[in-house]
Amino acid sequence: MDVTVSPSRVAGRTRAPPSKSYTHRAILAAGYGASATVLNPLVSADTRATMRAVDAFGGETELADDGSELVVDGFDGRPDAPDDVVNCENSGTTMRLVTACAALGDDLTVLTGDDSLRSRPQGPLLDAVGELGGRGESTRRNGRAPLVVGDGMTGGAVSIPGDVSSQYITALLMAGAVTDEGVDVALETELKSAPYVDITLELLAEYGVDAEATAEGFSVAGGQSYAPAGGEYEVPGDFSSISYLLAAGAVAAADGDTVVVEGARPSAQGDAAIVDVVRDMGAEVDWDRDAGELTVSRAALSGTTVDVGDTPDLLPTIAALGAVADGDTVIENCEHVRYKETDRVRAMAEELGKMGASVTEEEDRLTIHGDETDLAGATVDGRHDHRIVMSLAVAGLVADGETTVTGAEHVDVSFPNFFETLDSLGASVQRS
């Protein structure tokens, strides 16, 4: 699907979708237990992949017709061998979390995904599974999917790099809670995307599982059970998705009007940093934490410098804001952002360039030169990546002329009704 966005002014009230990060973890945590209900889950292509994995391991997931809750009968700690290959599609979170889960099984599980997912690194996690008493292999012997995992991982101590993916740590902590020995993870390098591990620790606590940060890394005791209080867990709103709505308000809110985003409840999400980024660039943002509401109005933005070491998913949004702002916007510490659904550093450099942005791309830094940029409508490639699609659409709100984003259906990964939401705020959006 292609979507064409024309210059628009936006205003009104909308709600952020539930958090994809929390939903993935909540579904699998419920699978590890006997039964639980996940309230307000994000229902998307990625989270459906995690639901299918729980089903494949012997659990059962049942989604309410209106999507408001997901009832999970779990596999109670130890997964069964699936009847077929587990296809994680495009969901890197699913594959990494499920890899450690599958390693608990006595028999073997084969995991695969689409072309993009099969290009993403899994080697350090596979090595860790082997060191913890399980089996983790790449069928092509290159550290990438398809993967073969199993042989009853028992736990123990392991060291792992922290600068490739925080999801490795999340996967090992979640699985480690039900091993015999528990798991102690020592970090070999500085941890990138650390707030995502904070999300994991917060969610584990909600499910009654004790895990903690240590001087060397992280630790979780074995022999624990997953059981949220009252049998229910409610997913908070997603700040990665909120970032596009805040950005839209900051660059395109109607004169004298605002965009109000509901569902912005405080949590461990590192991507809540977008609130301060937008403020630093000059927009007025009010955050009523008690009500979970953000209010933003349009302003003349100025460039800023942002370290995205802990918030990699914000890079596309910040890049789009930088293309509208005066002066330079410098996005630092971003090499790990190249290993997402696509190389997001290069994708934003090249696609914003098609729209007339002046961009300097370095290995670990992206600079958008706002003073040398006049955004003009163009046909841009969404790169099969939901975050690239949404960020380019935001830029299209203020570009001169029509902006057509190809592959726009990939918003289904995290924000399935994104374009309907823009339309409800007054944006001119056409689908083809």
Peptide bond into 146 cis (omega under 30): yes
Q: Is 340 annotated as a binding residue?
A: yes
Q: Is 192 annotated as a binding residue?
A: no
> Which residues participate in catalysis according to the annotation?
313
Q: Is 25 annotated as a binding residue?
A: yes
Q: Strand 217-220 vs strand 147-150: parallel, antiparallel, or unpaired?
A: unpaired
**Residue closest to 328 by CA, chosen among 301, 288, 289:** 301
Q: Is 21 annotated as a binding residue?
A: yes
Q: Is 120 annotated as a binding residue?
A: yes
Q: Is 354 annotated as a binding residue?
A: no
Q: Which residues are bridge partners to 149 per DSSP?
A: 109, 136
Q: Is 9 annotated as a binding residue?
A: no
Here the tokens at position 176 are 């480690």
Q: Is 122 annotated as a binding residue?
A: no
Here the tokens at position 342 are 């696509």
Q: Is 267 annotated as a binding residue?
A: no
User: What is the DSSP track for 184-211?
Assistant: EEEESSPPSSHHHHHHHHHHHHHTT--E
Q: Is 358 annotated as a binding residue?
A: no
Cα–Cα distance, 100 to 29 (Å, whole number): 13
Q: Is 265 annotated as a binding residue?
A: no
210 half-sphere exposure, CB direction, 13 A CA radius: 6
Q: Is 118 annotated as a binding residue?
A: no
Q: Is 344 annotated as a binding residue?
A: yes
What residues form the annotated binding site for 3-phosphoshikimate? Answer: 20-21, 25, 165-167, 193, 313, 340
What residues form the annotated binding site for phosphoenolpyruvate? Answer: 20, 92, 120, 167, 344, 387
What residues form the annotated binding site? Answer: 20-21, 25, 92, 120, 165-167, 193, 313, 340, 344, 387
